[in-house]
Structure 1
Amino acid sequence: MQTTRSYRSKFLSPTAMYSSSSMKPSSPSQANQDADDAKTYKELYQRCTDLVSSWPSRQGLSYLQLFRHEKGWYNGVTPLVGTMVADELFAARPSDIVVPTLPKSGTTWIKALLYATVHRREHPADAAGDHPFNSLGPHECVKFLEYHLYRADEAPDLDALPDPRLFATHAPFDLLPRAVVAAAPPSGCKVVYVCRDPKDTLVSLLQFVNEYKSRNGRELVAVDAAVGFFCDGVSPFGPYWEHVLGYWRAHRERPERVLFLRYEEMKRDPAGHVRRLAEFAGVPFTSPEEDGGAVDAIVRLCSFDNMVGLEATKGGRTQLTTTTVPNSAFFRRGEVGDWANHLSPEMAQRIDAITEAKFAGFGLAPSLIEL
C-alpha cells in the first residue's frame, strides 16, 4: 500500500520535519519536556493551518467552507489540518484498526458494529444496561483522527489506549497517515472501509447538511445544486468515485490489511458481516459464543431501532471541529434505494453514468446495489 503526498514539500521543509520521535526533547525535567512537546505541536499545527488557509475555498455540498487540495475539495480548515498533522505524528500499531468512510456511507453503523464486536467480552452486547452505548455515541467510542484527536489545543496521548485501538477518518486513501499505509509491521495497521451507493450517499449527505443549516438559520442546499456539487466533486473529502477507488485498489492489493465492505451487503446480512469483522480484527467468535447468540446480540444492539432509543442518541452531542452536533442527527434509517424518493430520473442517470465510467475496468460493480 503505497501513497504519495506532494503537499508535504509545500508545508514541511527538510529541516522542519516533525515526527513522533522528534517531539521527544532532551529536557531533563518532565515539565520542560511537556512544554517543549506542546510548543512543537502548536508550531506544526499553525504551519499547516497557515498553508490550508492560503488555498482556494468555496461553498459546496457541505456545512463548512471547502478548501481545494490537489486530491479534491476538503471539508473545512480544521479537518484538513487534522489530517495533515495526523499524517506527521500518528504512530500506528499492527493491532490498530482504522475505519475510513465518506460521510453518510454507514459510518455510525460500522463504528458501532466494530466497537461492539471487538469489545464484546468486556462489554457483552446483551448486557444492555451496562454497555457503553448507553452513555456514549459511536463517534465518541471510535474517534475521528481529524475531527477529535489531532486538534489545535493539544496533541493526543494515544499510547495508553489498550489494544486493539480503533480510529476513524473520512480521509481518502492517499491522505491516510503514512504510518497506517506503511508496507509492513511494526508500522501499518488494518483498515475497514465501507462504501455505499453514490445516490443514497448523496441524499443522506444532503439531508445531514440541510439539517445543520436549518438549525443555524442558514440557506439550504437545493437538490439540483447538490447533484451538481456531487458530480463535480465539490463535496466533503474529495470526489466520491476517487475515494471509493482508492480503497478498492488497496483492498485488491492487500486484502489481509484492507477490508472493503458495501453498505448494501451489510444491510442484507448484518450477522455475516459481524463475523467478517471479528475474523478480520483477529477476534473470531468461538463456538460457545455462536451457540449463545453473541452475533445476533451485537446486531440487535447496533440496530437503528435500538440505537435511536438510547439516551446517548436522544440527548447526547458530538463535537465536530468547532461545533457540536446532536447525536440524533447521525441516525437515519438508511434504507437502500431511498434516493428514488428524492432524485429525479435525470439526476439519477447523470450519477449512474459517471459511476459506470469511473468504475469501468476496476472489477467494481457500477451499481453498488445490484451485486
Structure 2
Amino acid sequence: MKPSSPSQANQDADDAKTYEELYQRCTDLVSSWPSRPGLSYLQLFRHEKGWYNGVTLLVGTMVADELFAARPSDIVVATQPKSGTTWIKALLYATVHRREHPADAAGDHPFNSLGPHECIKFLEYQLYRADEAPDLDALPDPRLFATHAPFDLLPRAVVAAPSSGCRVVYVCRDPKDTLVSLLHFVNKYNARNGRELVAVDAAVGFFCDGVSPFGPYWEHVLGYWRAHRQRPERVLFFRYEEMKRDPAGHVRRLAEFAGFLFTSPEEDGGAVDATVRLCSFDNMVGLEATKGGSTQLTTTTVPNSAFFRRGEVGDWANHVSPEMAQRIDAITEAKFWPSAPSLIEFYEQVMVVKERSNG
C-alpha cells in the first residue's frame, strides 16, 4: 500500500479536527440540557421532543444528522429498543447477502462469528462515535444501517427520501412486551455492573411518562407509521406479532422491499424457509457468536447473549400487573386512536383495550 501524500495527510488531519470539533459542540449542547434518571442505565437528557438516552447516543444522533450521506441503495433498520431489533437485523442481512452467504450453508455463514449488531451497525451507537469518524463511503452497496432514533431525529439525508432513495424498515411491538423486554435488558446491565435494579412499578411509571431511552413509545411508533402511510415504497412497517405468525411471508416482503426478490428456483429450493431457520431464536442462541461473542456499543461492551431473551408474544402478563397493563393500554388507545386506529384494531388481538362505542 502506498503511503498517503503530504496533501492527503493534511486533509485527513483537517477532517479529523473538524469531526472532533463537531462532536464537541454537540456534546457541550446536550450536556447543558436538563437530565434525570429513567428507564435506562444512562441519564436521560431533555430534548425539545422528549427525554432521550445519554449524552453519547444523543450526540451520535446529532452528528449523524450532520454528516450522513445517503445512497439510493441504503436500507436503515429502525426500532424502539427491544422491539425485535436483533431478529430484523438478522433477517435483513441474511436476505440481502444470501447469494454470497447461503442460509443453508450454515457452517460458513458470518453469523457464526459475528452477531447481527456487528453485521448491521447502529448509526448512533457504533458508527458516529467520539473516537473516530466512520468512512462509510468505502462500504459496498447495499449499505445496511440501524437506528433507534425517532423518525424526526433520523439523519436529514434519510428523511429526504425519495430524493435520496434511501429506504427504512421499521418494526413495532406491543408496548407492554417492549417495556418488559427493555426492563430485563437494563437490569442485566445493572446486575453486571453492580447497579441497583429497576423495579417493575418504577419502569411502568417511566414508560408511561415517556421517560424512555429514545423518547415516548407512542410518538416513536406514530412517527414511522405516518411516514409509512405517506411513502410506503420508502418506509416498510412491520408488526413483531405478525412476523412471529408468518416469518416466511415477512422475509418475502423484506426481500421485495430491499430489491432482492427470491427467484422461482430459490423458492423451489427452500431459500425462504432456510433464511427463517437460520435467523430463528433457537438457531441464533446456539451459535458461538451468541454464546461467547460481544458487541461494542459506544463505550460499553455487551455480551451478544444479552440481546436474546424469549421473544414471546404476551410474555408481559408474567411480569406486569393487570392495573399496570390497563394504564399502558389506556395511553395506547388515547395516542393511537385519533391518527392510527388500525394499529389499535391490530393490537386488540394481543392486548386488552376497553370497548368503544361507534359514536
TM-score range, shorter chain: over 0.9
**Structure 2: tracts of 5 or more residues without a match:** 347-359
Measured after TM superposition, the shift of residue 24 of structure 1 is: 21
Counterpart CA distance in 1 for 2:339 and 2:25 is 39
Counterpart CA distance in 2 for 1:82 and 1:190 is 20
The answer on whether the counterparts of 1:92 and 1:187 sit within 8 Å (CA) in structure 2 is yes
Change (3 A) 1:24 1:264: farther
Counterpart CA distance in 1 for 2:287 and 2:4 is 48
Change (3 A) 1:340 1:158: same
Q: Give secondary structure in 2 for the equivalent of 1:93.
A: coil
Change (3 A) 1:196 1:347: same
Measured after TM superposition, the shift of residue 187 of structure 1 is: 2.0
2:263 is matched with: 286
Q: Give secondary structure in 1 for the equivalent of 2:142.
A: coil
Is 1:370 matched up with 2:345? yes
For each residue in 1:263-301, what CA deviation from the matched residue of structure 2 results, as whole angstroms up to 9, or x when unmatched? 000000000000000000011000000000000000000
Counterpart CA distance in 1 for 2:271 and 2:167 is 24
The answer on whether the counterparts of 1:125 and 1:131 sit within 8 Å (CA) in structure 2 is yes
Change (3 A) 1:24 1:348: farther
For each residue in 1:3-62, what CA deviation from the matched residue of structure 2 results, as whole angstroms up to 9, or x when unmatched? xxxxxxxxxxxxxxxxxxxx9999971010000000000000000000001111111100
Change (3 A) 1:26 1:254: farther
Q: Give secondary structure in 2 for the equivalent of 1:68.
A: strand
Measured after TM superposition, the shift of residue 180 of structure 1 is: 0.3
Change (3 A) 1:76 1:25: farther
Q: Which has the higher helix share?
A: 2
TM-score, normalised to structure 2, is: 0.93
Measured after TM superposition, the shift of residue 321 of structure 1 is: 1.7
Measured after TM superposition, the shift of residue 101 of structure 1 is: 0.4
The answer on whether the counterparts of 1:105 and 1:196 sit within 8 Å (CA) in structure 2 is yes
For each residue in 1:180-209, what CA deviation from the matched residue of structure 2 results, as whole angstroms up to 9, or x when unmatched? 01x455524000000000000000000000
Counterpart CA distance in 2 for 1:252 and 1:277 is 17
Change (3 A) 1:365 1:268: farther
Change (3 A) 1:174 1:227: same
The answer on whether the counterparts of 1:27 and 1:33 sit within 8 Å (CA) in structure 2 is no
For each residue in 1:102-161, what CA deviation from the matched residue of structure 2 results, as whole angstroms up to 9, or x when unmatched? 000000000000000000001000001100000000000000000000001111001121
The answer on whether the counterparts of 2:161 and 2:234 sit within 8 Å (CA) in structure 1 is no
Measured after TM superposition, the shift of residue 71 of structure 1 is: 1.2
**Structure 1: tracts of 5 or more residues without a match:** 1-22
The answer on whether the counterparts of 1:197 and 1:369 sit within 8 Å (CA) in structure 2 is no
Q: Give secondary structure in 1 for the equivalent of 2:6.
A: coil
The answer on whether the counterparts of 1:262 and 1:368 sit within 8 Å (CA) in structure 2 is no
For each residue in 1:53-87, what CA deviation from the matched residue of structure 2 results, as whole angstroms up to 9, or x when unmatched? 11111111001111111111111111100000000
RMSD: 2.6
Change (3 A) 1:245 1:24: farther
Counterpart CA distance in 2 for 1:112 and 1:87 is 25
Change (3 A) 1:35 1:321: same
Counterpart CA distance in 2 for 1:278 and 1:328 is 27
Measured after TM superposition, the shift of residue 316 of structure 1 is: 0.5
Measured after TM superposition, the shift of residue 322 of structure 1 is: 1.4
For each residue in 1:161-184, what CA deviation from the matched residue of structure 2 results, as whole angstroms up to 9, or x when unmatched? 111100000000000000001x45
Change (3 A) 1:294 1:207: same
The answer on whether the counterparts of 2:115 and 2:289 sit within 8 Å (CA) in structure 1 is yes
The answer on whether the counterparts of 2:46 and 2:52 sit within 8 Å (CA) in structure 1 is yes
Q: Give secondary structure in 2 for the equivalent of 1:370.
A: helix
For each residue in 1:298-320, what CA deviation from the matched residue of structure 2 results, as whole angstroms up to 9, or x when unmatched? 00000000000000000011111
Change (3 A) 1:209 1:184: closer
Q: Identity over aligned residues, as a percent?
A: 93
The answer on whether the counterparts of 2:222 and 2:340 sit within 8 Å (CA) in structure 1 is no
Change (3 A) 1:323 1:223: same
